[in-house]
């Protein structure tokens, strides 16, 4: 049975012997022979001619990716602005249902995590392996903390039947006094039936925007876990900091999105 894979053509990457004169492109960083003597770092991919070019390209690629992410959220921000313009009272009432303390705490947590991430990049750049592991771990913990707080907030909203589409409950808006915690703070006036219905759009946008943001956080935290693993093995503190740097860009971007979400969703008008 040996050799059956070859016979049906899934033998994998078998190479035919390549004569030196043809395949050893002189454009490699070590010129001619590409045999045993690699005097370039092992992480240099062969279609790049130098480490600088590779790092530069990877960095630019991450910035462009962040631009696509920005346009992705852009659609949500457009929807938000359109409906806030149309249904301002509903948006105010909906925003009062969000706990500004949790929101502010989340913002502080995320800003701190951006700081620890930036410090992590500095540790990688200056070869501080233990510092890097510490910073990445702190960022990880803060990220989990953010998600935990978000979870608490979501549960609160779902318990109050403010999740769009799932037995959405208008009573807090038709009769604000039935919701004493919120009424104590803001003394909202009751909304008309029409305007009360529009709070469902506010919450749609709230869950869509913070949900999309949370999804990005989850991906980020996953990658962080992987990075902590690799950082402990010293992968990022011997000159090859591209991965940490570019991940840092992603993490900061997620922070920037939250900064805007916080201002737009939580702080509409609390006076």
Partner 1 sequence: MSTNTIVSLPDQSTATLPKDNYLNREYGLLSWLLTKDHKRIAILYMVSLSFFFAIGGAMAGLIRLELLTPQSSLMSSDTYNKVFTMHGVIMIFLFLVPSVPATLGNFFIPMMIGAKDLALPRINLLSWYLYVLGGILVLYTMISGGVDTGWTFTTPLSTHYVNTNVISTCMAVFIAGFSSIFTGLNFLVTIHKMRAPGMTWFRLPLFVWAHYAASVQMVLATPVVAIAITLLMLERTVGIGIFDPTKGGDPLLFQHLFWFYSHPAVYIMILPGMGVISEVISTFSRKRVFGYKAVAFSSVAIAVFGFFVWAHHMFIMGISNYAVLVFSLLSMLVAVPSAIKVFNWSFTLYKGSITFEAPMLYAFGFLGLFTIGGMSGVFLGTAGTDIHLTETYFIVAHFHFVMVGGMLMAFLAGIHFWWPKMTGRMYPAKLSQMAAVVTFIGFNLTFFPQFILGMLGMPRRYASYPPEFQALNVLSTAGASILGIGYLLSVLYLLWSLKYGEVAGDNPWQATGLEWQCQSPPLTENFTEMPIMDHEAYDYAWLESKNRDSRKEEAPSAE
Partner 2 sequence: MSEPSEHAHPIVGPGVYLVILFALLVGTALTVWASFVDLGFWNPIIALAIATTKAALVLLYFMHLKYSSKLTMLAIAGCAFLFLTLISLTLAEYISRAWGNW
**Residue ranges in 38-57 that form contacts with partner 2 under rule CB under 8 A:** 41, 50-52, 54-56
Structure tokens at 112: 């701190």
**DSSP letter assigned to residue 165:** T
Q: Does 2 bind partner 1 (CB under 8 A)?
A: no
Q: Which residues contact 254 (CB under 8 A, 6 or more apart)?
A: 110, 213, 216, 217, 220
Closest CA to 198 of 85, 90, 88, 82: 90
User: Which of the listed partners (partner 1, partner 2, none) does 25 bind, with a CB threshold of 5 to 8 Å by partner kind?
Assistant: partner 1
Please report whether residue 233 would count as binding partner 2 according to CB under 8 A: no
Cβ burial of 112 (10 Å; 0-12, 13-18, 19+) is: middle
Nearest CB to partner 2, comparing residues 157 and 252 = 252
Q: Which residues contact 245 (CB under 8 A, 6 or more apart)?
A: 59, 121, 124, 125
Phi, psi of 70 (to 5 degrees): -65, -40
Smallest gap from residue 252 Cβ to partner 1 (A): 19
List 43, 51, 79, 232, residue binding partner 1 (CB under 8 A):
79
Return the structure tokens found at 80: 């938000």
Other CB atoms within a 10 A radius of the CB of residue 160 amount to 14
What is the C-alpha R_g of the chain? 26
Task: Figure out which of the listed residues 2, 16, 189, 271 binds partner 1, where binding follows CB under 8 A.
Answer: 16
Q: Does 60 bind partner 2 (CB under 8 A)?
A: yes
Return the sign of the alpha-carbon dihedral for residues 45, 48, 50, 55.
negative
Which of these segments, 68-76, 147-155, 159-167, 168-176, binds partner 2 (CB under 8 A)? 68-76
Tell me which stretch binds partner 1 (CB under 8 A): 11-19, 111-119, 176-184, 232-240: 11-19
Among 65, 115, 186, 260, contact with partner 1 (rule: CB under 8 A): 65
Cβ-defined contacts of 173-182 (< 8 Å, 24+): 173/90, 173/93, 173/199, 176/93, 182/96, 182/97
Which residues would be at the binding site for partner 1 (CB under 8 A)?
Answer: 6, 9-16, 18-19, 21-23, 25-27, 45-49, 53, 56-57, 60-61, 64-65, 67-69, 71-76, 78-79, 82-83, 86-87, 90, 164-166, 194, 197-198, 200-201, 204-205, 207-208, 212
Which residues would be at the binding site for partner 2 (CB under 8 A)?
Answer: 41, 50-52, 54-56, 59-60, 63-64, 67, 70-71, 74-75, 77-78, 81-82, 85-86, 100, 104, 107-108, 111-112, 114-115, 117-119, 122, 125-127, 238-242, 248-249, 252-253, 255-256, 259-260, 262-264, 266-271
């Amino acid at each position: 049975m040996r050799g059956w894979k070859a016979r049906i053509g899934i033998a994998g990457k078998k190479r035919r012997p390549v004569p030196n004169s043809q395949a050893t492109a002189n454009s490699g960083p070590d010129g001619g022979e590409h045999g045993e003597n690699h005097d370039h770092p092992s992480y240099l991919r062969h279609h790049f001619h130098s480490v600088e070019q590779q790092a530069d390209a990877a960095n630019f690629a991450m910035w462009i990716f962040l631009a696509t992410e920005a346009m992705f959220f852009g659609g949500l921000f457009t929807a938000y602005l359109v409906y806030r313009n149309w249904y301002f009272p509903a948006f105010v009432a909906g925003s009062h249902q969000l706990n500004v303390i949790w929101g502010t705490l989340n913002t502080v947590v995320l800003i701190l995590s951006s700081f620890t991430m930036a410090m992590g990049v500095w540790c990688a750049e200056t070869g501080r392996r233990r510092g890097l592991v510490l910073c990445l771990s702190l960022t990880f913990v803060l990220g989990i903390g953010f998600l935990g707080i978000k979870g608490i907030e979501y549960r609160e909203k779902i318990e109050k039947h403010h999740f769009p589409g799932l037995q959405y409950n208008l009573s807090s808006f038709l009769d604000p006094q039935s919701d004493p915690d919120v009424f104590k703070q803001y003394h909202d006036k009751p909304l008309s039936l029409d305007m009360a219905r529009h709070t469902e759009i506010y919450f749609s946008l709230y869950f869509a925007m913070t949900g999309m943001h949370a999804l990005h956080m989850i991906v980020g935290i996953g990658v962080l876990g992987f990075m902590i693993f690799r950082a402990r093995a010293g992968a990022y503190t011997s000159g090859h900091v591209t991965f940490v740097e570019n991940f840092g860009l992603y993490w900061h971007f997620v922070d920037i999105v939250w900064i805007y979400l916080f201002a737009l969703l939580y702080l509409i008008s609390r006076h």
